[in-house]
Structure 1
Amino acid sequence: MHHDKDGIQIAFTGDVMLGRLVNNVLSFDRYTYVWCDTLQMMRETDLSLINLECVISSKGREWKKTWKPFHFHADPDAIEVLKTVSIDYVSLANNHTLDYESEALIEMLKLLEKNKIAYSGAGRNLQEAMSPAILQAKKVKVGIVSLTDNQPEWEAKPDSPGVNFIPLILENDYDNRLEECIKDAKIRSDIVVVACHIGPHFREVPSRAYINFAHHIIDLGADVYWGHSNHMPQGIEIYKNKLIMYDCGDFIDDYAIDPDYRNDLSFLFLVNLTKNNVKEIELVPIKISEFKACTAPPWDADFIIQRMVNQCKILGTDTVIKNRRLFISIK
């Protein structure tokens, strides 16, 4: 899929979790291993954006102030895994960023800064957590806001570290916060992306509240809504000629596979856009096997494509299948 000379292509993924068993693989100095054959595809795009579903740090101790079933961290070395595939940006507003408390978070922020990988959604204080990342590719400036409705106890405060917490039901001052985040990104960029780690897990279809939330984000000025948290992809909606990817699923992890939901299957989402608008999206079927993200074999690709076609249909989105890839055009 070629884009026009002024256009750019951005790769979006769902959750990338480099802790636990994945971290053991990395200890063999195999930084390219987890990317399998998506490595080349991601390197060829103008920007690659992921949700980083763990903390990269050797510091801190397990979060115990509130109950959490899982704590994910990867060794500092895992930063090389991101660099080897030229990841440009990581979304940090999620339910694992503070798994090892703020000491580990701050070490990770320093690592990202030192290695020139942009981030948003978490910070040393509320202002940092709200602040968008601004990336430039060719002549297009992309502003990325990141937020989560998970772990309210991790909310960043004016003088303490944490995440950009924004609940699904926008009460109190949260609507103003959301508006401020998007406005800030809009002033500084051509295209605004909002990364949202919200909602429960394993829902085939986004709930009404979730749909309203995504629409509201577009109404506030975003061009792309980028959801993750569900552990399986949800449909794509074109709303007011803007792109809503309700959920991008999981991309790299060591999770148990649910045979009904098939959380080991997802997509690499390749989005073509210009300074003014999103043009087309291409979905490449991906299968997680042995902790790596590989192009899905034909039968798995057909399964996940068919499921996505149905999920899109529910949202009124037309899709085209070509060579075991799925295409959606924006008029």
Structure 2
Amino acid sequence: MDTLKLMAVGDITLQTKNNEHPFKYVMNVFENNDILFGNLETVLSATGKEAKKSVVLKSSPESINYLNEAGFNILNISNNHILDLGLEGFKNTLSLLDENKLEYIGAGFEKSSLNSAVIERNGIKLGFLGYTIGRFKVPEEISISKIKEKKIISDIELIKGKCDFVVVSLHWGTENVFYPSPKQIELAHELIDHGATLILGHHPHVLQGIEKYKNGLIAYSLGNFQFDCKLSQSSTNDSIILCVEFDKNGINDFQIIPVVINEVFAPIQVEGEVKEKISNFIFQISKPFIDEKITNKWWFEEIGEEYLIGNINSYVTRIMKYGIIPLFECMIWFLTPFCIQCYIGILRKNIKSFLYHLNVL
């Protein structure tokens, strides 16, 4: 039976130290695929107005050659950095991708666009859709697909007739935490219930678990792949290449190829103890799905401290750059319901830890 092998990776910036080729150490790994997917977490433009953010991600237009040489076929561009150089940078990026015949999903020049792509290999057609979280304002004349459940389900219905299986790319979740929220899990299940086969998550900058659900597969976060981990304040430089094999009946098999991001921000395939460590880690963070352990209370206990510290650091950077407006935004943020749930989660976790040690003593 004919099969199709999809390789998927997380966040890519195309920026390295000493201008080294960002995929130099994984080119041989990439040879063994039919379709290569990644999340392009940067603008490809030399011009445009910089957004007032703590981290602006931009790369030279020439860096698109790296994507071509590595063999990327399709990229998600619906993310919180696609407007880092404003409308001009956005248009330059999409024009460059079009010129290089690189498929992309999640954003487009037309407001009403589905922002999808269909790729056929070995007689199997995959339909790709992409979406992002974010409250950023989208200019009137372009389209950036936001995560809205009813819209995604509608889009799945529209594309199902054009392909055999639907792949949904979601730029979502909380940065630097190893577990998706209960709401994310619920949404992922809903999308598979309505016809998606594979969900590829990114944005948290760290790996999250992989769940088999019914006839589908959910990779909640593929983490950083080719990235300066210090920019994302990530606690780890571990990553993976997810390999998913399709046949005419759906997903036949999947595996992970562990990699580590080195000091020049390039991923390297690893073997031995490091490979085993990353594989075991994926297993451990995937276990709560099987145990149905990820409740709202549990999740806020796990993510509260990391979320607050990460956002405080981001606000401090913006306050130092731009002054008083980010300071007021920070003060309002401290009082948001999400932050309050984090405070309660941290308190609950500390009380549990205190009682545990008290019993041990």
TM-score bucket (shorter structure): 0.7 to 0.9
TM-score w.r.t. structure 2 length? 0.76
Return the structure number with greater helix share: 2
**1:234 alignment partner AA:** Q
Instruction: Provide the residue aligned with 1:256 in structure 2.
Output: 230
Taking the aligned partners of 2:54 and 2:192, their CA distance within structure 1 comes to: 34
Shift of 1:307: 1.0
- Alignment pair present for 1:54 and 2:42: yes
Shift of 1:213: 1.2
**Deviation string for 1:37-65 (max 9, x for gaps)?**
3212212200000000101111211024x
Contact map agreement 1:10 1:271 (CA 8 A) in 2: yes
Taking the aligned partners of 2:80 and 2:232, their CA distance within structure 1 comes to: 21
**Deviation string for 1:85-114 (max 9, x for gaps)?**
110001011111110011111111111111
Unaligned runs of 5+ in 1: 167-173, 318-331
Instruction: Provide the residue aligned with 1:149 in structure 2.
Output: 133
Mapping for residues 126-145 of structure 1, pairs under 5 Å:
126-128=111-113, 130-145=114-129
Instruction: Provide the residue aligned with 2:253 in structure 1.
Output: 280
Taking the aligned partners of 1:219 and 1:25, their CA distance within structure 2 comes to: 47
Correspondent of 1:266 among 239, 250, 268: 239
- Alignment pair present for 1:8 and 2:4: yes
Q: Which moved more, 1:293-302 or 1:6-15?
A: 293-302
Unaligned runs of 5+ in 2: 292-361
Taking the aligned partners of 2:188 and 2:168, their CA distance within structure 1 comes to: 9
Correspondent of 1:165 among 146, 152, 157: 146
TM-score w.r.t. structure 1 length? 0.83
**Deviation string for 1:274-307 (max 9, x for gaps)?**
1330111110110000211101253332221111
Instruction: Provide the residue aligned with 1:122 in structure 2.
Output: 107
Correspondent of 1:308 among 272, 275, 282: 282
* Partner SS state of residue 299, structure 1: helix
- Alignment pair present for 1:41 and 2:29: yes
**2:236 alignment partner AA:** N
**1:298 alignment partner AA:** G
Change (3 A) 1:83 1:258: closer
Mapping for residues 29-108 of structure 1, pairs under 5 Å:
33-64=21-52, 68-108=53-93
Taking the aligned partners of 2:257 and 2:62, their CA distance within structure 1 comes to: 28
Shift of 1:223: 0.4
Once superposed, what is the RMSD of the aligned Cα atoms? Answer: 2.0
Taking the aligned partners of 1:248 and 1:237, their CA distance within structure 2 comes to: 13
Instruction: Provide the residue aligned with 1:209 in structure 2.
Output: 183
**Deviation string for 1:224-279 (max 9, x for gaps)?**
010011111111111112111111111001122999x6431010111111133011
Q: Matched residues, percent identical?
A: 27
* Partner SS state of residue 56, structure 2: coil
**Deviation string for 1:104-132 (max 9, x for gaps)?**
1111111111111000101123323x321
Contact map agreement 1:155 1:165 (CA 8 A) in 2: no
Instruction: Provide the residue aligned with 2:265 in structure 1.
Output: 291
Shift of 1:165: 1.2
Taking the aligned partners of 2:6 and 2:211, their CA distance within structure 1 comes to: 18
* Partner SS state of residue 315, structure 1: helix
Instruction: Provide the residue aligned with 2:306 in structure 1.
Output: none
